[in-house]
A = this chain, B = another copy of it.
Amino acid sequence: MTSNPTWVLKRFPEGMPGPDDFSLEHRDPPVAKPGELVVRTLWLSVDPYMRARLSPAKNYAAGQKIGEMMRGGGVGEVVASESPLFQPGDIIQADDFGWQPVTTVAAKTAIRLDPASAPVQTSLGCLGMPGLSAYFALLHVGRPKEGETVLISAASGAVGQIAGQIARIKGFDPVAVAGSDAKIDWCRSIGYRTGINHRTAGDLIEAIARACPSGVDVFMDNTAGPIHDAAMLNLNTFGRIVVVGTVALADRFDQPDIGPRFLRRILVARARIEGFLLDDFEAQYAEARSQLTRWYREGLLEAREDVAEGIEAAPHAFIRMLKGENFGKQLVKV
């Protein structure tokens, strides 16, 4: 029996997770119980929401316990099936892959992929959770009108890159905020009108004002932190803020986020701030997925991936994504 190197949570991170918060254990490959599949992991996804699971505090995602295997979205090939739904050789996507080369997945949570339709890892990116998040957060919560300025933070990230392109397709005016000039250049190439490198822009409030001369109508907030604050000060009357992620707080996860509040501004602008979780839109996944797939196959959606190689790289990929060092959707190719 070959070894199956498996990442487990060693301790709860304090602030920004580090490599020492995880340990690689050599386990035996798992065996499927009834209703389960044994899957050879091809791709793992690391996503901001996973930070919230690494905390003893109550949170929206089921928490991860110390000593437990790390889990997240993945794509793999079925090698053994204890379910009539799948056969060996099927390529599947599921949200609950272990961070290990061979893992088990509950058959009822798996989705069969058609490798001829799109590269299978797009099911973890533009055609998966990040793409669906971009679609619903922008169109169903932010609800921009034609020509309105849509400011998007983490604009080249998994969610932001799709949101920007949907905004372009729909005739909105997307403006990027990202952490390097290369990211901003790429954002322009996929349809953002312009962008702001928040690491070099100096006064972010002024930089957003220059990039958005008509103000910000919809702000898709993937980060929280100083970008949020600067966006609030450029918000138009009846502006909308969709809180999709708070990755800028990943380094002080269990501490209160202290800073300026904007209640007077919210009142005066009649702004609307609304939190977003993808799960609430499950009933409409199929419709959105088929729209995203259509755009993708028409060449209207470009998907940039940042690929770390090998199961050993999984924590590293997770941490660099939390730090914003990734460029595109962060994946691990196993």
* A binding-site residues for B, Cβ under 8 Å: 52, 59-60, 221, 224, 228, 243-246, 249, 256-277, 280
Contact = CB atoms under 8 A, between A and B. Distances in A.
Among A261, A265, A272, the one with the most B-chain Cβ atoms within 10 Å of its Cβ is A261
B261 A270 contact: no
Nearest to A258: B260
B263 A228 contact: yes
B257 A264 contact: yes
Contacts of A261: 224, 257-259, 261
A220 B134 CA distance: 30
B266 A243 contact: yes
Copies in the complex: 2
Given A260-B258, A261-B261, A272-B273, A267 B280 contact: no
17 contacts: A59-B268, A60-B268, A221-B263, A243-B263, A246-B264, A257-B260, A257-B261, A257-B263, A258-B259, A258-B260, A267-B276, A268-B277, A270-B275, A270-B280, A271-B275, A272-B274, A272-B275
Nearest to A280: B270
Contacts of A269: 275
Contacts of A256: 260
Contacts of A264: 224, 246, 249, 257
Interface residues of A, dominant DSSP:
mixed
A267 B263 contact: no
Contact of A273 (B59, B249, B260, B273): B273
Among A264, A268, A270, the one with the most B-chain Cβ atoms within 10 Å of its Cβ is A264
